[in-house]
Amino acid sequence: MGLKNKKYENPGTFKIDPAKAAEYAKILRAVSKVKVAVVGDIVADEYITGSCERISREAPVLILRHEDSRVTPGGAGNAAANVAAIGARVYSIGVLGREREAAGVIGFFKKNRVESRYTVKSASYETCVKTRIMSGSLHTTLQQVIRIDRGGEKPVGDADARKLLDGFEKIVGTVDSVLISDYNCGLFGDYFCERLQRILKKEYSKRHIFVVVDSRHRLFDFKDAYVATPNESEAREASGIRISDRKSLIACGRALLEKTGDRSMLITRGSEGMAFFDEKGALHEIPITRRDEIADVTGAGDTVAAVLVSTLPLARKNPVLSVELANIASGVKVMKRGTAQVSVNEITREIERIENFQK
């Protein structure tokens, strides 16, 4: 492959030719026909915003005047919401507690076309809640002052896990693709992973189904998926290979393919773009679409995984198209603050922006 052991160079500028734009449009028009199951750790992202009034006389801390509070789905919940936002039909398969924040997540699902009938509401589980305190003034943008995390430390009980998996088993035969979204919040214990793998293996024996794995620390517990989406640090942890040049990038990707048994591998690399290893092990390097205007990368990985799982069934002959659409959607997401969704219309406008920029 003409590899050189030198410092990695950015693959360049993301470009779209008319033929590719037509392929993107064809996929996006058909995405409403796709059915997706998102299995994973549902997080409640709480945002409390306030304006900074003064410094406290009691301690050297800011005093904020409360302006707004809202709860939005995070983790697997955000991934499911992103699937719905681009127009696919989605089932949320996860566990929530009975807290006010959990109710806020369910309310969001109902308003935004996320099917939650198979989301287990458990009296014994404490929802993982991430509370972000945001502040700004009339002439400044909101900034995160502090984040407070609670819940998500205790494992989901076997009874709740069994109920959730029973629900998943009912609908897995009806979906085109499955996203496994592991945020290390208690769902993916040994029992859950083992039975989930059995259900998927049974489905693999019947037909081709696209399974996307987005897992922080347990890539090897979900073998034989279509694609996994580790970021660079997760890829290093799983492979033991630090990416420093193109040679090590290829070694890392191929090591992950061998260890997981997955058909392909997508390593997200922040400002260095994406590295996609296809079913033949060939590397496709995809530059990011925006190098400025980046406001917040929170949830960008959810957006990438959601677009992949929604579009791969429509791009099966050329999965690079699906990866590129995920890359474009990620470029839209990072311009938004906090956990957010990217709509099919926003992706379409971003494609048009990139085309016009090239002229």
Residues 6+ apart with CB under 8 A from 288: 14, 271, 272, 273, 274, 327, 330, 331
| 86 vs 54, more confident | 86
On average, the pLDDT of the chain sits at 91
- pLDDT bin (cut points 50, 70, 90) of residue 139 is low
Distance (Å, whole) CA 234 – CA 169: 29
Residue 168 has pLDDT above 60, yes or no: yes
Taking only Cα atoms into account, the Rg of the chain, rounded to an integer number of angstroms, comes to 21
Listed in sequence order, the DSSP H helices in 53-178 are: 76-85, 100-111, 158-171
The whole-number pLDDT of residue 5 equals 39
Residue 80 within a domain: yes
| 359 vs 331, more confident | 331
Task: Give the SS3 label for residue 263.
Answer: coil
Residue 11 has pLDDT above 60, yes or no: no
The whole-number pLDDT of residue 3 equals 40
Rounded mean pLDDT, 131-144: 80
* Domain total of the chain: 1
The whole-number pLDDT of residue 14 equals 87
- pLDDT bin (cut points 50, 70, 90) of residue 13 is confident
Residue 228 has pLDDT above 70, yes or no: yes
- CA angle 82/211/326 to nearest 5° reads 40
Residue 250 within a domain: yes
Rounded mean pLDDT, 12-41: 93
Question: Active-site residue 302, yes or no?
Answer: yes
Where residue 304 sits, what CATH number does that domain have?
3.40.1190.20
Residue 170 has pLDDT above 80, yes or no: yes
Residue 287 within a domain: yes
Catalytic residue among 45, 214, 278, 302: 302
Residue 107 within a domain: yes
The whole-number pLDDT of residue 339 equals 84
Residue 341 within a domain: yes
Instruction: Give the domain range for residue 111.
Output: 18-42+74-121+155-358
Pairing of strands 95-96, 114-115: unpaired
The whole-number pLDDT of residue 87 equals 95
The whole-number pLDDT of residue 12 equals 63
CA torsion, points 280, 309, 211, 268, in degrees to nearest 10? 60
Cα-Cα-Cα-Cα dihedral sign, residues 245, 248, 253, 256: negative
Residue 328 has pLDDT above 80, yes or no: yes
Residue 220 within a domain: yes
Residue 10 has pLDDT above 90, yes or no: no
Listed in sequence order, the DSSP H helices in 227-299 are: 232-239, 246-260
Of 316, 324, 344, 309, residue with least CA distance to 16: 324
- pLDDT bin (cut points 50, 70, 90) of residue 199 is very high
Distance (Å, whole) CA 359 – CA 351: 13
Residue 266 has pLDDT above 60, yes or no: yes
Contact between 258 and 303 under an 8 Å Cβ cutoff? The reply is no
The whole-number pLDDT of residue 42 equals 97
- pLDDT bin (cut points 50, 70, 90) of residue 187 is very high
- pLDDT bin (cut points 50, 70, 90) of residue 169 is very high
Residue 94 within a domain: yes
Distance (Å, whole) CA 32 – CA 88: 4
Contact between 168 and 60 under an 8 Å Cβ cutoff? The reply is no
| 14 vs 25, more confident | 25
Residue 211 has pLDDT above 80, yes or no: yes
Rounded mean pLDDT, 26-43: 97
Residue 150 within a domain: no
Residue percentage of the chain with pLDDT more than 90: 74
Copy the structure tokens of residue 332: 């839209």
